[in-house]
Structure 1
Amino acid sequence: MSGHPQISLQLRTFTDDADHDWSSTLALGRAMDVAGVDRVVVSDHVVFGENPDAYANPAVGGIAGGRQPTGPDGQWLEPLTVLTALAATTTRIRLGTAVLLAALRRPAVLAKQVSTLDVLSGGRLDLGVGVGWQREEYEAAGLPFERRGRLLDHTLEVCQALWAQQQAHYDSPELSFQGIHLMPKPVQAGGVPIWVSGTVNNAVARRLSRFGRGWIPWGPARDDLAGAIATMKDAMAGFGADPTDLQVQGNATTINRADGSVDLKATVASAVPLVAAGVSDVRVTLALPGDEQHAVDLLTELVVAFRAATR
């Protein structure tokens, strides 16, 4: 792992409240930026079917015991649009997806959107991707759910070709082109960093080996991060990759006091064993005050405590 551990938060861009004030959501993103949080991430669902219980089925990519945070008619903002708004209203925080269902987008159009956002944000974008769990989203996009892994790989192949090559060429069973120019290129050297979500398996290890700067562990991998990281790095090495600088996301445990307030010291203490296990990006989940300045104050205290505990 290179550099100091980073602290990240998810910005909730989904709700069952049809009258939610989205300006307050953007204000919380600004508060994270001001307070010194390293990365803010947003999640993705394009559409919902009427079987949200499938989220609890690991066989289709869900997580055992998991529960969707909204019903099918919940409000879910499109993540790249949200990150564009945040890019315009923040100055230093990194902006990420956790995770984008990248295969649902046409690859060349996604490459253009992501490159544009990287340029407008001054090179602050991280693209976290995954295959998802919901068959209905693929059906609504006219795509076969059973081929979602290959569709994701294809999407990433096209994006990286268009980002890296001045006269891009690409050939696969899904798509062929040559002499294609996509401008502007991403600001970041090597293109926008890709973080791959998934469990410990050969498909995810191969995807990380080909595309990934970072891994977002999913399912059982989150229960034994030290073991999972070692196993994943071994698998990546088996595919010819050098996993030495693999970045890994892990979730701190939020500790609340008896009165319901968050115990920041105890919460950041839970990050220490994660960092020792090889986690480079510690995700903290906590309820934030609606008032922007109060949120800045709480987050500043959190960041200071995190730095002290992990450096």
Structure 2
Amino acid sequence: MEIGVNILGLEAHFDGKIRPVLDFAARADQVGVDLICTGDHIGFNGDAHAERVDEHGFAFPLDHPWYEPISLLSSIAAVTERSRLGVSVLIATVRPPALLAKQVATLDALSDGRVTMGFGVGWQEAEYTATNMPFDARFGRMEETVEACRELWTQAPANFQGRDFSFENYHSIPLSTQDRVPVLFGFAPSQRNFDRIARVADGWTVNPTDLPTFTDSVALLRTTFEAHGRDPQSVRIQVSAGPVRRDSGTIDLAATAEKAHDWSDRGASVVVFRPAVFDCAAEELPELLEWMISVKEM
């Protein structure tokens, strides 16, 4: 089992300052965390945000700072050496493929080939409107986005002809350091979405709302990979595990570790913890990191 750390929101432990989060990431890298990741939103329409909070329990207030993830991870690349770097779900389809490919290839170069990206399409039409990208048909456009990025990551000159994007004799340097940048899709579990993953991606980053059907979904995803001529055991599956709380509301770390191992036993490649929701003070974060690493050895 691999252990990941999601740094989203961690600046709140340091009076809103982001620099100590980089120090935390460096320490996580040193103690053996396998993946350091963050989240993504470009912005919010106020009414859409309020609706998301009311209807889906969206946990982030409107004034929560969403640092641009590739920029933030580039800073983290400079202070780490071994942990893989990624976004739990980057809203890829609000970014033109030529720009997205350049950002990811640059991060891969800065990190010496340590990038693993989670891509999704988001839920908020306002982000598409603000970036002048079409909201309709975004799921299908995700496949084309990844195909275009893979061409740009590996070929110079690159040539691509798609429904929405095309380029010819196009040079985008640097290429990715890795031969194949791992891309996971943050889609709901369905045959149609798993076919999309098997065609162009490398795995699945799981929305917490989809965990109740996790075991069956993993079996379906692996079967789908096999049907597409790909090794079913090569699928990378990323699960975010929140802390288990007692009836009193306090966190039960032993039960949380047991849950993490249960996800691993059922097919998760990496279990990701988000320290910001573990009810600890800034000075307790090193101890929490040590606990996270100990989970691998339990």
Structure 2 length-normalised TM: 0.88
Q: CA deviation at 1:173?
A: 2.3
Please say which of residues 139-148 and 113-122 is displaced more in the overlay: 139-148
Query: Out of 61, 76, 81, which is 1:70 matched to?
Result: 61
The runs of 4+ residues in structure 1 deviating greater than 4 Å are: 13-17, 256-262
The one-letter code matched in structure 2 to 1:139 is T
Identity %: 30
Q: Which runs of 5+ in 2 are unaligned?
A: none
Q: Say if 1:99 and 1:253 are closer, same or farther in 2 by CA, change over 3 A.
A: closer
Query: Out of 195, 199, 202, which is 1:213 matched to?
Result: 202
Superposed, 1:140-289 pairs within 5 Å as 140-190=130-180, 192-218=181-207, 220-256=209-245, 262-286=251-275, 287=278, 288-289=280-281
Q: Provide the rounded CA distance (Å) in 2 between the counterparts of 1:23 and 1:136.
A: 30
Query: Out of 95, 115, 134, which is 2:105 matched to?
Result: 115
Conserved? CA contact 1:14–1:77, under 8 Å: no
Q: CA deviation at 1:241?
A: 3.8
SS at match of 1:272: helix
Q: Deviations over 1:115-171 (max 9, x none)?
A: 111011111111110010011101111122122112322221111011122321101
Conserved? CA contact 1:102–1:130, under 8 Å: yes
Q: Say if 1:66 and 1:198 are closer, same or farther in 2 by CA, change over 3 A.
A: farther
Q: CA deviation at 1:104?
A: 1.1
Which residue in 2 is equivalent to 1:26? 22
Which residue in 2 is equivalent to 1:11? 7
Which residue in 2 is equivalent to 1:55? 52
Q: Deviations over 1:46-72 (max 9, x none)?
A: 010121145379xxxxxx74314122x
Higher helix share: 2
The one-letter code matched in structure 1 to 2:60 is P
Query: Out of 272, 292, 297, which is 1:302 matched to?
Result: 292
Q: CA deviation at 1:266?
A: 2.5
Query: Out of 66, 70, 85, which is 2:75 matched to?
Result: 85
SS at match of 1:278: coil
Conserved? CA contact 1:253–1:270, under 8 Å: no
Which residue in 2 is equivalent to 1:61? none
Q: Say if 1:136 and 1:249 are closer, same or farther in 2 by CA, change over 3 A.
A: same
Q: Provide the rounded CA distance (Å) in 2 between the counterparts of 1:13 and 1:155.
A: 28
Conserved? CA contact 1:53–1:68, under 8 Å: no
Q: Provide the rounded CA distance (Å) in 2 between the counterparts of 1:54 and 1:229.
A: 31
Q: CA deviation at 1:277?
A: 0.8
Q: Provide the rounded CA distance (Å) in 2 between the counterparts of 1:219 and 1:185.
A: 34
Which residue in 1 is equivalent to 2:91? 101
Q: Provide the rounded CA distance (Å) in 2 between the counterparts of 1:55 and 1:8.
A: 27
Structure 1 length-normalised TM: 0.85
Q: Deviations over 1:250-303 (max 9, x none)?
A: 233513568876443332111222111111111223435323xx4223312331
The one-letter code matched in structure 1 to 2:79 is T
Aligned-pair Cα RMSD in Å: 2.5
Which residue in 2 is equivalent to 1:135? 125
Q: Say if 1:260 and 1:54 are closer, same or farther in 2 by CA, change over 3 A.
A: closer
Conserved? CA contact 2:37–2:87, under 8 Å: yes
Q: Say if 1:176 and 1:285 are closer, same or farther in 2 by CA, change over 3 A.
A: closer
Query: Out of 37, 43, 54, which is 1:41 matched to?
Result: 37
